[in-house]
Amino acid sequence: MISSLFIAGTDTDVGKTVASKAILQAAAKRGLTTIGYKPVAAGCEKTDQGLRNSDALHLMKVATQELPYHDVNPYALELPASPNIAARHDNVVIDYQVISDKLAQLKSKADFVLVEGAGGWRVPVSDTDCLSTWVKHEQLPVVLIVGVKLGCLSHALLTAESIEADGLNIVGWIANRINPGTEHYAEIIEVLESRIKAPKLGEIPYVPSAKRSELGKYINLEPLLETEAVV
């Protein structure tokens, strides 16, 4: 199985964290030690312990390995905005070397490290660069999360094309039903299956928050288990 992967969304609020939790739960059931990593997170809340991001906290809760918060989320930004805007607001410069060094440390502590992105594939982290540049530098295999809703077909296909144009390998995709009332769901899935070359790892139905401890059952890890490990 690959030792690490990057979770990319077709947009913001498409269920990257829900899908990340599902993958981590499925990996843990396989007996793998796991870590969820959120290198950059905007929209963090002030707490007595410092800024905290809800997505990062969810990843920490479901991972098998306990770590200090700042190991999981080295760049916690306060403003609920694009990371480049939030970083400027906090007078922070996002340094790729910092998040690369942290990733290397995390890889040494678990069988499997899941890296969750922020926003969509081309989300800016500065006035001149995007987080995708770092993913490309690390050559991380990518799992694409499609939030199933009106308009998702174009977003999904454009994102997949962009990832592949960057020379990265999409090792799977997951459909996340963010709106239970979405019409033509089956037809949308059929188009995605025919147009995205990577295997579908699962379809996550609309799940109330109280039942999200059982998300792993919707994920098929076999394609990832068969993928050559990336060191």
* Per-residue three-class SS string for 91-129: CCCCCHHHHHHHHHHHHCCCCEEEEEEEEECCCECCCCC
Please name each of the domains of the chain with its CATH number: 4-225 (3.40.50.300)
29-33, 173-177, 227-231: segment of lowest average pLDDT: 227-231
| Model confidence pLDDT, tens digit, residues 41-94 | 999 999 999 999 999 999 999 999 999 999 999 999 999 999 999 999 999 999
**DSSP β-ladder status, 142-147 and 170-176:** parallel
The residue annotated as part of the active site, out of 16, 21, 29, 38, is: 38
User: Residue 196 corresponds to which tokens in the numbers above?
Assistant: 């995205």
Query: Mean of the pLDDT values across residues 127-154?
Result: 96
Residue 107: is its pLDDT beyond 70? yes
Q: Which residue has the higher pLDDT, 227 or 189?
A: 189
User: For 43-82, b where at least 16 C-beta lie within 10 A, e where not — what string?
Assistant: bbeeeeeebbbebbbbbbebbbbebebebbbbbbbbeeeb
**DSSP β-ladder status, 170-176 and 45-47:** unpaired
Record the pTM.
0.95
38-47, 97-106, 131-140, 199-208: segment of lowest average pLDDT: 199-208
For this structure, is 29 an active site residue? no
Using the Cα atoms of residue 50, residue 56, residue 62 and residue 65 in order, give the sign of their dihedral: negative
